[in-house]
Structure 1
Amino acid sequence: MIAFIIAFRHPNSTKNYEHVVDLLRATLLSLASQTNENYRVYIGCNVAPEIDIDTNKVRICTIDCPIPSSRKEVLLDKGVKRALAIQTANNEIKPDYFFLLDADDLVSTDCVDYLHQQDWASSPGGYWLERGFLLDMFNRKVQEKYGFNRYCGSSLILSATTLTSKLFTGESVDEKMSTHQEFLTACDEYILEQVLGDHIAVRGFMASQEQPLQKILRPLTCWKINTGENESSTKIPFGSRNIDEAFLKRFSITSIDTRRASVFERMVEKFRLLKSWIASISK
């Protein structure tokens, strides 16, 4: 069983909360469109958002996190909310893996099915996604990238056993925390901040625990940028592949129309993909 773990922001931390809810709604729609239903979704948040889609596989977990005011607090806020979601998932379904997913990204309709086809015994630590799509929602441009894990946090599928054992310290493994302060006290700060709150150090951390992650080359997630609410300032340069019906259906996208890229745009996109592949194999 795979549990998707999402942290959702405080309503007062954004100028347009309804827009943020719309982005989450699109994420949940992509999850609801999975061809394999052997998954659940756990969302850690301050206030339960109003989601008008079928959410029978979604569990909303509320907690009293204060509005973060610094980069460190932003990471800890995300970490604590994900820790609550992980605690709840462990109590309810005891998943094999936690898929750390950002609240505004999309997964392909075959994501869960493809992950269940992997030989889990050969990768007890989990997986990282080497390829994925960057989608500029405003300009309707999409590019495929190697080295996707360096760009996007929605690229980590971690062993539930390993992550849980490192997250909850001492006797807190068997406790049931419910407040922001209780999680800060009971959880390892590095795991909260750098593993659940960020993504850059996760592969190195898992390797240090002798649970290295295996690479998945199939692009299973789509990182939406230029949505108006991204924390990252990443922009897509010139170049795009076609945004056709197949792509929109693959990621359950309903908010933008198809767009046929020019020949030159498609050539540049292929060149950028090749460059990202060369960069990925040279590291």
Structure 2
Amino acid sequence: MIAFITSLRHPDNAVDYGEVERLLQRSLRSVTSQTGGDFVVIVVGSRAPSFRLPPRVHFVQVDFPAPPEPTVREERWEVVIRDKGTKLAVGLLAARAFSPDFVMMFDADDFVHRGLSEWVARQPREANGWFVSQGWMYSGARGAAKPIRDLHRVCGTCYIVPWRMYEVPDGIGTDASQEELIAAFGERLRWLMGKHNGSDRWLADHGNPLEELPFDGAVYHVDTGENHSRKTLSEPLPMMPRAVAARFSIRHRHPWPVRWWRSSGPGAYPRFGEFLRHADSLRFPRRVFTSLRRRLREWTND
């Protein structure tokens, strides 16, 4: 079994907590669309979601205080590591009841491959786990997407780690304080829960090198307005391919004409003149009409 675990930021730290919940709802739709049934999902946060949770999803409420909002980048990440790390530690304590073999932490706005749990179930239980190198960066606001390598260097939804490596302690429950959790999990809270960049190196240094997942395992969702990283995808790009959206159970927020306009059409350029310079005067109209014909045929399925 694989346990998918995520955390929600405190409502007081959100720009729009309603949007945080909408992002979570889309992310859970992706995670729970697994083709294999041997999985559980744990969500940890300060406020229970206002929508009905899908099957296999369990919410754990904590009463941690809202973290401060420091202006210095380094201090900001320390705050994120403490808040996110302790919430994910609570998620591990809750997952203990399901006896998972592997754990995948995921950010509450990202998407995962729908065949992930089925693939993991076919692997040996003693495997060292995997990291997601092949993946996608996606702007739901624009509908634009691009494939990227080394996704695990920038995205928190990229590690499938053996349960044993977390050394989840006995004698501590989901009602533990942040200080108790930090003391109980030690450096694992920082390197495996609070931050993602460097988790693979930490695991390798502790005798558990991860292997690369042999397919595109995750979609990094940016331009949400609620990312801790504040990452954006601003350059003109193609729309996300339909096959990719299907693999990750992504339902776009906007119809395809809006996505085209914002991703690679005039809306993707600061000035309309730039768009015209990039569009070949002879080939561009033909490309547009070819795309329009194809998309109109698919309209009812989009």
What TM-score bracket applies, with the shorter chain setting the length?
A: 0.7 to 0.9
Give the whole-Å Cα distance in 2 for the aligned partners of 1:180 and 1:207.
Answer: 30
TM-score, normalised via structure 1 length: 0.82
Who is 1:208 aligned against? Answer: 205
CA RMSD of aligned residues (A): 2.3
**If you compute each CA radius of gyration, which structure gives the higher value, 1 or 2?**
2
Q: Please tell me the residue identity of whatever aligns with 2:210.
A: L
Change (3 A) 1:245 1:82: same
Who is 1:281 aligned against? Answer: none
Match of 2:95 among 89, 93, 101: 89
Who is 2:46 aligned against? Answer: 46
Deviation digits for residues 47-105 of structure 1, max 9, x if unmatched? 1112235x220111111111111421221111111111101111x21100110100110
Mapping for residues 148-227 of structure 1, pairs under 5 Å: 148-163=151-166, 165=167, 168=169, 173-181=170-178, 183-184=180-181, 186-227=183-224
**Does the Cα contact within 8 Å between 1:48 and 1:60 map onto a contact in 2?**
yes
Who is 1:132 aligned against? Answer: 135
Change (3 A) 1:256 1:113: farther
**Cα distance, 1:193 vs. partner?**
2.4
Mapping for residues 218-237 of structure 1, pairs under 5 Å: 218-236=215-233
- The percentage of aligned residue pairs carrying the same residue is 27
Match of 1:257 among 255, 272, 281: 255
Change (3 A) 1:26 1:85: same
Query: Gaps spanning 5+ residues in structure 1: where?
Result: 266-283
**Does the Cα contact within 8 Å between 1:4 and 1:39 map onto a contact in 2?**
yes
**Does the Cα contact within 8 Å between 1:130 and 1:147 map onto a contact in 2?**
yes
TM-score, normalised via structure 2 length: 0.77
Give the whole-Å Cα distance in 2 for the aligned partners of 1:218 and 1:3.
Answer: 19
Q: Please tell me the residue identity of whatever aligns with 2:117.
A: V
Change (3 A) 1:241 1:116: farther
Give the whole-Å Cα distance in 1 for the aligned partners of 2:219 and 2:58.
Answer: 23
Give the whole-Å Cα distance in 1 for the aligned partners of 2:178 and 2:206.
Answer: 27
**Does the Cα contact within 8 Å between 1:177 and 1:183 map onto a contact in 2?**
no
Moved more, 79-88 or 69-78: 69-78
Give the whole-Å Cα distance in 2 for the aligned partners of 1:240 and 1:111.
Answer: 27
Moved more, 194-203 or 236-245: 236-245
Give the whole-Å Cα distance in 1 for the aligned partners of 2:176 and 2:117.
Answer: 31
Deviation digits for residues 32-61 of structure 1, max 9, x if unmatched? 2111111000111111112235x2201111
Change (3 A) 1:257 1:180: farther
Deviation digits for residues 168-195 of structure 1, max 9, x if unmatched? 4xxxx33325132453354234222232
**Does the Cα contact within 8 Å between 2:138 and 2:240 map onto a contact in 1?**
no
Moved more, 237-246 or 1-10: 237-246
Who is 2:83 aligned against? Answer: 77
**Cα distance, 1:209 vs. partner?**
1.3
Q: Please tell me the residue identity of whatever aligns with 1:93.
A: F
Moved more, 74-83 or 110-119: 110-119
Give the whole-Å Cα distance in 2 for the aligned partners of 1:216 and 1:79.
Answer: 24
